[in-house]
């Protein structure tokens, strides 16, 4: 059966608004395991904070902040010199909708977000959850996951992949849909409206990958090493879309190569495929074993790995997509190459409820 990647317009009429009635709930700053957070309004909009049965106002362009921390398992709010005990914290705009704000882990990081904020306490940590518009999440992920010199057509392909994953992969965590780490997709601050990531998101607004008329949680990796892989090849369960192994010309001709030394104990984990590689990375660092595409040899008490590629090599290869775009391929052609037998669909408001709830794999 020949490959088909066509753009289907599923909105009723051209005059219908091109919007997707879909928000995503993303847990942020989990990397820092925060026990304390501070909240501040952006320079342009007021933030309404609700906690302990009361409402507090954070005015724009003011230095006033709200602080949250845990003491003996209790969630506390400090505002205006007073301390309140509460179970949940919510922050919104005056109309209860999305609002820009600054959220900080004191002494570590401050990030700007746009959405509604919820903060809970869980196992001695604060869990900030942001509910944001799907397109805001897509632009933020594209900006975080792509290099600054990526070609616009490759960025568009990345935007479609990110949107497909957000739309079809909900429910990956207990209290929220996605995290902001590589377990799901990197996500940082929303990019500026004139940034290349924001432009790529707007120019692919609403477009998702579908297989058998249903969206699927599309995956990607940094570099495939010469050809992409199926989940079965790296010891992962299958998914709704049957990923195909396709040749990636750029990575085949110029693979990203690496060498690593592991103890015999750590090397034995690699027999478990991708789950074993991730176990080694969790123990030794995220780049301890860059991919599952390697050969190994014994050298004394160590195991020498020589490999190619970065990531699980399933789905879109970012390195190959960039090269294809630079050689003149459109984002449709890029997606057609890495996701054979799929369709590009303009996912409309009336179709949002039919998205698959696919929870199997991380996107890279």
Q: Which helix (H) or strand (E) holds 86?
A: strand 82-86
For residues 290-298, average pLDDT: 92
The tens digit of pLDDT for each residue in 109-138 reads: 999 999 999 999 998 999 999 999 999 999
Q: What does the pLDDT look like over 311-353, one tens digit per residue?
A: 999 999 999 999 999 999 999 999 999 999 999 999 864 344 3
Task: Say what the pLDDT of residue 295 is.
Answer: 93
CA distances (Å), origin 188, targets 20, 239, 295: 22, 27, 35
Would the pLDDT of 358 be above 50?
no
Q: If pLDDT is split at 50, 70 and 90, which confidence band does 220 have?
A: very high
Token couple for 90 = 């919510």
Query: Which pTM value belongs to this model?
Result: 0.86
Contacts for 347-350: CB closer than 8 Å, 24+ residues apart: 347/10, 347/20, 347/167, 347/206, 347/207, 347/208, 347/215, 348/10, 348/11, 348/12, 348/16, 348/20, 348/206, 349/17, 349/19, 349/20, 349/21, 350/10, 350/12
Mean pLDDT of 282-309: 92
Instruction: Specify the pLDDT at position 18.
Output: 37
What are 220's strand-pairing partners?
316
Find the mean pLDDT for residues 221-226.
95
pLDDT on residue 348: 67
Mean pLDDT confidence for 263-276: 89
Name the token pair of 94.
């005056």
What are the counts of helices (DSSP H) followed by strands (DSSP E) for the chain? Answer: 8, 21
C-alpha to C-alpha distance for 306 and 259, rounded to whole angstroms: 5
The pLDDT of residue 2 is 29
What is the pLDDT of the chain when averaged over all its residues? 88
**pLDDT for 21-77, tens place per residue?**
489 999 999 999 999 999 999 998 999 999 989 999 999 978 889 999 998 889 999
SS3 of 127, please?
Answer: strand
Other Cβ atoms closer than 10 A to 177 = 21
Using an 8 Å Cβ cutoff, are 276 and 270 in contact?
Answer: yes
């Amino acid at each position: 059966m020949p490959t088909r990647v066509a753009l289907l317009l599923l909105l009723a009429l051209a005059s219908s608004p091109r919007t997707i009635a879909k928000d995503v709930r993303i847990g942020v700053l989990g990397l820092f395991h925060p026990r304390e957070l501070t909240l501040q309004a952006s320079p342009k909009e007021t933030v309404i904070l609700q906690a302990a049965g009361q409402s507090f106002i954070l005015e724009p362009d003011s230095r006033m902040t709200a602080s949250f921390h845990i003491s003996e398992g209790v969630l506390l709010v400090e505002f205006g010199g007073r301390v309140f005990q509460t179970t949940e914290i919510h922050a919104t705009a005056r109309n209860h909708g999305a609002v820009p704000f600054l959220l900080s882990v004191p002494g570590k990081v401050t990030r700007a977000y746009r959405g509604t904020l919820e903060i809970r306490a869980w196992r001695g940590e604060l869990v900030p959850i942001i509910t944001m518009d799907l397109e805001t999440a897509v632009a933020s992920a594209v900006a975080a996951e792509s290099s600054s010199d990526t070609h616009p057509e490759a960025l568009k392909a990345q935007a479609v992949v990110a949107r497909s994953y957000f739309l079809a992969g909900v429910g990956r965590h207990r209290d929220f849909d996605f995290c902001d780490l590589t377990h799901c997709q990197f996500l940082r601050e929303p990019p500026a409206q004139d940034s290349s990531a924001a432009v790529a998101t707007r120019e692919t607004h609403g477009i998702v990958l579908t297989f058998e008329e249903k969206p699927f949680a599309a995956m990607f990796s940094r570099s495939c090493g010469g050809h992409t892989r199926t989940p079965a090849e790296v010891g992962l369960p299958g998914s709704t879309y049957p990923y195909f192994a396709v040749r990636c010309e750029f990575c085949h001709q110029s693979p990203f190569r690496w060498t690593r030394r592991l103890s015999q104990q750590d090397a034995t984990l690699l027999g478990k495929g991708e789950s074993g590689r991730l176990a080694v990375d969790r123990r030794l660092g995220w780049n301890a074993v860059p991919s599952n595409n390697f050969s190994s040899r014994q050298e004394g008490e160590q195991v020498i790995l020589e490999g190619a590629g970065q990531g699980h090599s399933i789905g879109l290869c970012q390195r190959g997509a960039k090269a294809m775009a630079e050689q003149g391929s459109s984002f449709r052609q890029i997606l057609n190459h890495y996701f054979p037998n799929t369709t590009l669909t303009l996912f409309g408001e009336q179709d949002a409820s039919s998205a698959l709830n696919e929870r199997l794999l991380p996107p890279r």
